[in-house]
Amino acid sequence: MRSEEVYEKLKQWVEDNRSHTMLGEPAQYIPALANQDRDQLGICIMDIDGETYKAGESDVKFTLQSISKIISFVALCHFKGLDFVLDKVDVEPTGESFNSIIPFEIHRPGKPFNPLINAGAITVASMLPGDTVSEKYERFILFVEGMIGHSLELDQEVYESEWKTAHRNRALAYYLKESNLLDLDVEEALDIYIRLCAICISLEDLAKIGLVIAHDGYDPIEERQIFSHDVARIAKVLMVTCGMYNSSGKFAAHVGIPAKSGVSGGILASVPPKWHSPEKAFRKGCGIAVFSPAIDVNGNSAAGTMLLRQISEEWDFSIF
């Protein structure tokens, strides 16, 4: 498919799905996110040559929020090994809300069900290499910057807003500390977790990360292996089974690509290579990033989800 056709289709599909922003609202429980423009919808797709295809509000920057969970999982596995991480965090869906305390009270699992719920992500963040919060943050940010090729910044307003309202996450952290799962004190573990959520990123940066995950940890643009095939494989499994909160099953059925959402309205998606149907777009795989801050009851971008569904159906992206 010619580049001009791809651009035109993306522009049309963004406008087709813009009305779906009315199906959600910006995250109200984080004051710094509550006033985002709900009508925004943007997308960036990056192919193996580094060519980007953008439409809508594609130059906006936003905070990673829960998208950071899959990246921190990958980073920790890269630094300390997959076996080490899976000994501390499982890879099972919960059926509960991403910030629920119920699994600890009812099941007493001994470790978080997966790294994409808050309990798992706090555990993972606390185990990043380094002795202090600053050292752990620095190692993580350097890992991400190594993938995207430039520096990133913390959104201080969002960080402070989340810190002041992190009551449930603080309660989760105490449960984790009681279970001897944190490498830091409660406040320090919460601090590093919130810092990762508050990193500011662009759609193009996120699409590059999605591209690397899609290609099993290999950067096809720079032609280098960033993290192992095994880590990328588990990351994609987690994205399919747990990446879209309690809508993960429906997303897998109707969109069918590994993805991770965040309550700021971002979605990171990875489309692995698919060699049949060569007339379709992006047969060699791609990374996709979508942003629209109006989120639904499950915490996923309402319009972003619908846009990805249309793209996947039209271009046969589903891995199933």
For residue 2, what pLDDT is reported?
82
Question: Is there a binding annotation on residue 187?
Answer: no
Residue 320 lies in a domain: no
Question: Is there a binding annotation on residue 19?
Answer: no
Shared-domain flag, residues 79 and 188 = yes
The distance in angstroms from the start CA to the end CA of the chain is: 22
Contact present, 244 and 298 (Cβ < 8 Å)? yes
Shared-domain flag, residues 210 and 177 = no
Residue 283 lies in a domain: yes
pLDDT digits (tens, 9 = 90+) for 214-267: 999 999 999 999 999 999 999 999 999 999 999 999 999 999 999 999 999 999
Shared-domain flag, residues 166 and 272 = no
Residue at a domain's end among 197, 230, 261: 197
For residue 93, what pLDDT is reported?
84
Shared-domain flag, residues 52 and 79 = no
Shared-domain flag, residues 76 and 156 = yes
Shared-domain flag, residues 11 and 91 = no
Shared-domain flag, residues 212 and 178 = no
* Spatial distance between the Cα atoms of 297 and 247, rounded to a whole number of angstroms: 10
Question: Is there a binding annotation on residue 228?
Answer: no
The Cβ-side half-sphere exposure at 140, using a 13 Å CA radius, reads 30
Contact present, 126 and 88 (Cβ < 8 Å)? no
| Signed CA dihedral, 25, 60, 55, 249: sign only | negative
* Domains contained in the chain, number: 2
Residue 153 lies in a domain: yes
For residue 108, what pLDDT is reported?
57
What is the radius of gyration, based on Cα positions, of the chain?
Answer: 18
Question: Is there a binding annotation on residue 202?
Answer: no
pLDDT digits (tens, 9 = 90+) for 127-183: 999 999 999 999 999 999 999 999 999 999 999 999 999 998 998 898 888 888 888
Among all chains, which residue has been given the structure tokens 């795989």? 285
As given in the structure block, the two tokens for residue 150 are: 């430039």
For residue 243, what pLDDT is reported?
96
Question: Is there a binding annotation on residue 159?
Answer: no
Mean pLDDT of 267-276: 90
Q: Which of 1-5, 20-24, 210-214, 229-233 has the lowest mean pLDDT?
A: 1-5
As given in the structure block, the two tokens for residue 25 are: 């609202």
Shared-domain flag, residues 156 and 234 = no
pTM score: 0.94
Q: Report DSSP state, residue 211.
A: H
pLDDT digits (tens, 9 = 90+) for 278-295: 677 899 999 999 999 999
Residues marked as catalytic: 66, 69, 193, 245, 263
Shared-domain flag, residues 208 and 193 = no
Shared-domain flag, residues 72 and 25 = no
Question: Is there a binding annotation on residue 29?
Answer: no
Shared-domain flag, residues 189 and 215 = no
> Domain of 183?
67-197
Burial of residue 33 (number of CB atoms within 10 Å: 0-12, 13-18, 19+) = buried
Residue 302 lies in a domain: yes
* 167 Cβ neighbours under 8 A, 6+ residues apart: none
Q: Which one has a higher pLDDT value, 192 or 103? A: 192
